[in-house]
A and B are shown apart, each in its own frame.
Chain A
Amino acid sequence: MNRRSKLYPDFPSAIHGIEDGATIGFGGFAMPGVPFNLMQALQHSPARNLTCVANTTGGAALPRMPDIGHLVERGMVRKVICAFTAATRASEQLPFTKYHESGEVEAELVPQGTLAERLRAAGAGIPAFYTPTAVGTELALGRETRIFDGREYLLEPALPLDYAFIRAHRADAAGNLRFRRSQRNFNPIMAMAARIVIAEIENDIEPAGSFDPDDIHLAGIFVHRLVVIPPAPAGLWPQLREPKS
């Protein structure tokens, strides 16, 4: 194979070259599938004015793992696009909230299914789509809607990414990925929406041809850089959440 290897030796080298102003999407939902190691490495990158896309800004559950909130605390973020930008209980506060309320960081709050479909659309070459979600709510104020078969729909733009940081269970040298259980979540669609995809992998990289082509969850053409997660404590792995009081 004359193609360049996709394998990187460590997390800092895997995230090299991220430009100021880049838009980065992070896979994961709750603990499974979050690229904790890449997110931790990003905290030490010189990149600034980032736009960060993920399900949540993070920090609602303990133990706290690397999240967008950490990047915000380091002054690296201009804007977040998430389905959770504040805690849903009045008695709780996300680490992100004070930076949002002070105006230091902009936030675009997006329904989770709309976020997923905006990413899917970007990955599928579709510039925008109509959805019934959020019609009649504050989120639809002043925005374009259209009636199809008597029902009102809201126009939503695709959400293309410069980079996607993802986590998978297994990879081959061609970058073909397999996820395990609910680890899949946003990871494949974040990847397809992005120009450059960086994946942290939970097992050693397997030779190309190790997977049956029918059993690949994300084709290697969408994956550009692979890095193997070392065992704990050097590598970060999902942990049991502490029960809420």
Chain B
Amino acid sequence: MSGLTRQQMADAIARRFQDDWIVNLGVGIPTMCSNTPITADIIYHSENGVIGYGPLTAPGEEDMHLVNAGGQHVTLKPEAAVVHHADSFAIIRSGRIDVTVMGAYEVAATGDFANWKVAGAKGGGIGGAMDLAACAKRVFIILEHTQRNGAPRLLSHCALPITARGVVKLVATNYGLFEPAGTAFNLVAIAPGITVEQIRAATGAPVHIPDNLSTIAV
């Protein structure tokens, strides 16, 4: 893979956060958004009812009663509160989450995405993804632009079972930032060292290139 590192992909998303946003980070690359130095004053929400958590705990200082949705031991900020699971998802379902950042196997130009079931599996791992995807004000996705074999993950339509329909607002890959625009992706910003031709060749849907294409600062 070339282009952005995993942390740089997370940085490109985290820099979009705005003051007072309530933010939910999915497991994997999205959790790296909390490492990005940003000036926006945000509140992190975790599915298990932790509101207002801070950085990961230092090794040896873990509180065995306290984890985020990824099972990582975190610290609490002074404004933190804890609620039970039904109230935590009441926060989600009632539309109070300003942005949810999730990983995915596939994203479509239609705004659909798939992240709960791999090809051929009988079971799946939904966790809180379907509630967050259906109800958050914004869904941002971070994923590698292609599969290991080079097959595209950004497609006209998802091949895998979807998590939610038409909800994705912004996609960060190692190649750039994209907006699903119905039948095509709009390229919002390109990763340093990546060309438009590389993006077109690695994307399973048309890509619109703006006249003044900006490069992602790293």
Contact = CB atoms under 8 A, between A and B. Distances in A.
Interface in A163-194: 169, 180-189
A184 B83 contact: yes
Interface string B60-92: 001111111001010010000011111011001
Nearest to A119: B86
Contact of A109 (B68, B93, B126, B134): B126
Given A84-B127, A182-B66, A186-B85, A131 B93 contact: yes
B131 A133 contact: yes
B214 to A, nearest CB: 33
A81 B126 CA distance: 12
Given A86-B124, A185-B84, A186-B84, A133 B65 contact: no
Contact of A117 (B50, B67, B89, B124): B89
A6 interface: no
Interface residues of A, number: 56
A9 to B, nearest CB: 25
B62 A113 contact: no
A131 B133 CA distance: 13
Contact of A83 (B50, B64, B128): B128
A61 interface: yes
From A133, A180, A241, residue with most partner B Cβ within 10 Å: A133
Interface string A187-205: 1110000000000000000
A101 B63 CA distance: 37
A155 to B, nearest CB: 15
Contacts of A237: 64
Contact of B130 (A96, A134, A182): A134
A238 interface: yes
B86 A117 contact: yes
Interface in B27-72: 27, 46-50, 62-68, 71
A123 to B, nearest CB: 9
B82 A182 contact: yes
Interface string B117-137: 110011111111111001100
Interface stretch (B1-9, B159-167, B177-185, B203-211): B159-167
B178 to A, nearest CB: 22
A112 B131 contact: yes
B21 interface: no
Contact of A112 (B68, B124, B128, B135): B128
B116 interface: yes
Interface stretch (A15-23, A25-33, A64-72): A25-33
A85 interface: yes
Interface stretch (A43-51, A136-144, A207-215, A220-228): A136-144
Contacts of B117: 86, 138
A32 B67 contact: yes
A110 B65 CA distance: 25
B66 A137 contact: no
Interface in B87-125: 88-89, 92-93, 115-118, 121-125
B89 A137 contact: no
Interface in A86-143: 86-88, 90, 94, 96-97, 100-101, 107, 109-114, 116-117, 119-120, 131-139
B121 A86 contact: yes
B62 A240 contact: yes
A139 to B, nearest CB: 7
B71 A241 contact: yes
* 10 interchain residue pairs of minimum CB distance: A113-B89, A86-B123, A113-B131, A85-B123, A30-B71, A136-B165, A88-B125, A181-B65, A111-B130, A120-B86
Interface of A: 29-33, 55, 61, 83-88, 90, 94, 96-97, 100-101, 107, 109-114, 116-117, 119-120, 131-139, 169, 180-189, 217, 237-241
28 contacts: A29-B47, A31-B67, A83-B126, A86-B122, A88-B116, A94-B123, A100-B123, A107-B122, A110-B126, A111-B129, A112-B89, A113-B47, A117-B89, A133-B135, A137-B161, A138-B161, A180-B65, A181-B65, A182-B49, A182-B50, A183-B65, A184-B84, A185-B84, A185-B85, A186-B84, A188-B84, A189-B86, A240-B62
Interface of B: 27, 46-50, 62-68, 71, 73, 76, 82-86, 88-89, 92-93, 115-118, 121-131, 134-135, 161-165
